[in-house]
Structure formats: C-alpha cells, structure tokens
Amino acid sequence: MTTSKKLFIKTYGCQMNVYDSERMAETLGGQGYVQTDTPDDADMILLNTCHIREKAAEKVYSELGRFKGLKSANPELKIGVAGCVAQAEGQEIINRAPLVDLVVGPQSYHRLPELEAKTQSGQKALDTDFPEEDKFERLKARPKAPRGPTAFLTVQEGCDKFCAFCVVPYTRGAEVSRPAARIIDEARDLVERGVREITLLGQNVNAYHGVGEGGEWGLARLIRALAEIDGLARIRFMTSHPNDMDDDLIAAHGDCEKLMPYLHLPVQSGSDRILKRMNRNHTSESYLRLIERIREARPDILISGDFIVGFPEETEADFQATMDLVAAVEYGQAYSFCYSPRPGTPAAERPQVPADEASERLQRLQALLAQQQRQVQESMVGREVGVLFEKPGREPGQMVGKSDYLHAVHVTDNDIEAGGLRRVRITGSGRNSLNGELVDCK
C-alpha cells in the first residue's frame, strides 16, 4: 500500500488565491498528496502568493528562510512558490532561494503534476507561462468529498483596466471568462457535496463575458442560470469594477432572490483628479449615481468598498473629496490602505506622499468607515435576517454563520447544525459581529 505524501499550502491574499489553493491541492491529490495543517511533517510546502501589497516578494523570501531547517532535516522535502509573486519573480526566486524546487504562476498550476515529477528527479521546475490552453479544462474533476456550506468559484480571471497602481494585468494577464456550462457544472457538483452558498470570483468579475447557450453571457445571465440549481440557496460575487455594472446586473439585485444584498464595489478615491491619475476611467459623480441606481433596485443592499490613501500627488483637498464620498455612500464595510508602490506600475515612478501624511489620513478615513460600519450593524438590531451557519462558536452550544448581508452572526442554540439556513432575529451588535436568536422552527 502506497503511503500518502503530505502537502502544506499557505495562502496569501484574495479569495481567488483561496480557490486556486483548493484546486492545486486537488491536483496534487492525484499524485498521492493529502493536506496537512503544519509544514513540520510535510513532503511538499507550497506558498500561494499575492503581489498586491508593498514588499510582497521580500515577505515571501523571509517566509522561505523559515523553512531552511526543515529542508536541512529532510532533503527530500520539496518547496514551491505559486501565485502572483511567482509570476512576477520567476527564475529570480530560485536564484535567491536555492531551497526552492518549484515555481509556478497562477495560469499554469494545472501543470503541477508534471512539475512535481520533475522535482522528484532532482531538477528545478519553473513555469510562469500564459498558456493557450484553458487551465480549468485541463484540471481534473474535483473529488467528491463533502464540503462545507460555502464555496468560492472562479468564473473570470485577469484584468484589462490597467489601473496605475495595480500589478494584476501583469501577473494574471488579460481578462478571460470561463464558459458558462463549465461553471454551472462545477456549481452543481459543489451543491451535491453540501455547498449552499457560492461566491463567484474574478479579478474583475462583473466583466464576465463567457460563452453560453445562444452566444455570449454577462454575469447577470450566469447568476440567473445558477439560481435555477436546486439546493443552491445563495449567490454572491466579487470583486467588481464600477464601469462594468451594466443594467442587467443592477436589475438582478432586485429580481434574483438568491443573489444576496451585498455588493463590494471599489472606488479607491473620491477625487476626480486622483481617479484620473489612477486610470480608473470613472468619476466620483458617476460612482455615486451608480450607487443610487443599485439602491433603487435593492434598497436594503449593503455596499462595501476599497480605498487607497496617499496615492502619489494626493493633496489634502483630494483626500477630503474621498471623505465626502464616503459620507455620501454610507458604507456597511470597507477596506482601506496606504498606497504602496508596485515596481513596474506607472504610479510607482511618480512623486510619493510622505508616509506620515498618508498614515494620518488613513487613520481619519478608517475612523469614519468604522463609525459607518457600527451604525449599519446597530441598525440590524431587531431585524430578522437569514443566517447560513458554518461552524461552532467559542461558547458552548454557540454557532456562527453569515447573514444575508455578510455579517458574522453568533447564536447560542442546540438546534443548529452547520449548513443550516435559518431565520434569526438580531439582538445585539458587537465590534465586528452580531448576536441573534432563532425565530424559526425548521
């Protein structure tokens, strides 16, 4: 009987990397690997990396340094780097960190079995191509093991927007959409294994334009087709670009019951001057009018966003325009960061805002966003919402799930199982979560 090999994967960054890590683990499962929660006893360590934040590559090299002892103790241990840092750095990773055996980009991980076999013969394996073949078509069918109640499903990759601060077009390539039929088949398979909520993923997911029955489908048509799957209770999608929120997708938020009332729609800045320098190709006014239209279609929708503070040449007036936009939108959630230069992007070569100024502005913005989040959460108290329960909480008999609006909700009741979708009355609001009690008897 062949002994299973152990695979440790550490995932950095976005939900798409989470999905990619799942598929890489499944792919290597065909080579006899099973996942382990620790690198200490692994036969292969795989870092699935993100290149969005500053000094991402240096953080990867630092992480690799921690594995030197493991490699010395077990010369047969294979160490790989995948994802966007792998795509950006390529051969340089092997040159700087000789303990690395394998480097694979995000568009090539379907070739992992061949690359892994190469390492077993004592060779270094490198693949950062943008292959012509569809990696999803080449990946083996997902194993039939039971799943938790939620899952990510990539439908689109890459980006054609070329925002001045972003490396995604260079590390993930041009926009590519998966055929609708393959997405629907994968969704059905996930539902058969216990999934009740699917989040559709893409670097620019609402630019989806996959081939389907009758021609090219947009994201709204894909969502409506997925909503017909029996057993699939909830659909979400992220991350979106304001320029690709078309009329049909806006309408879907009002007429598709399974599409949840939560939308992550990054704006990055409220200053038209900075938006132009970012190459966002929208204005603060067009963004605000878009939010109005979305709320007309679904009045209770929770809006989430992304903000970059201290973008090159940002003035105090530019920053105040961002604060004014935030005040106008009233975000339920948001993510905000100080600008970090990414080598090779246009913004990296421009005059930078002093770090202390950027940090002070970020603190002001985050204080306003936190205030809005608290207000939205407090407004939920007394309301009834749907909650999909996922796992036990910290207290005895407590379960934790996500509301329709993606709030974490804690309920103490012995009549709850993971995967249960229940009606809950919200009784209290904490710092980053809600408390509730069951109101149904299912």
Q: For 388, how many CA atoms within 13 A lie in the half-sphere containing its CB? A: 20
Give Cα 160 distance to the centre of its chain: 18
At 325, which amino acid appears? L
In our burial notation (b when 16+ CB lie closer than 10 A, e otherwise), range 335-356 reads ebbbbbebeebbbbeeebbeee
Please return the burial class of 433, using the count of CB atoms within 10 Å of its CB with bins 0-12, 13-18 and 19+.
Answer: middle
Across-strand partners of 333? 304
Q: Which of 147, 168, 324, 312 is nearest to 239 (CA)?
A: 168
**Cis bond upstream, residue 239 (ω within 30):** yes
Query: Which two three-digit tokens encode residue 196?
Result: 């009740």
Torsion angles phi and psi, residue 186, rounded to 5: -65, -40
Question: Cα–Cα distance between 197 and 235 in angstroms, integer?
Answer: 6
Please return the burial class of 265, using the count of CB atoms within 10 Å of its CB with bins 0-12, 13-18 and 19+.
Answer: buried
Give Cα 50 distance to the centre of its chain: 11
Give Cα 47 distance to the centre of its chain: 17
Binding site residues for [4Fe-4S] cluster, as ranges?
A: 14, 50, 84, 159, 163, 166
- Say how many Å lie between the first and final Cα of the chain, rounded: 46
Could you give the C-alpha distances from 82 to 76, 170, 176, 243, in angstroms and in order?
19, 15, 20, 30
Binding site residues, as ranges?
A: 14, 50, 84, 159, 163, 166
Residues 6 or more apart whose Cβ sits within 8 Å of residue 121: none
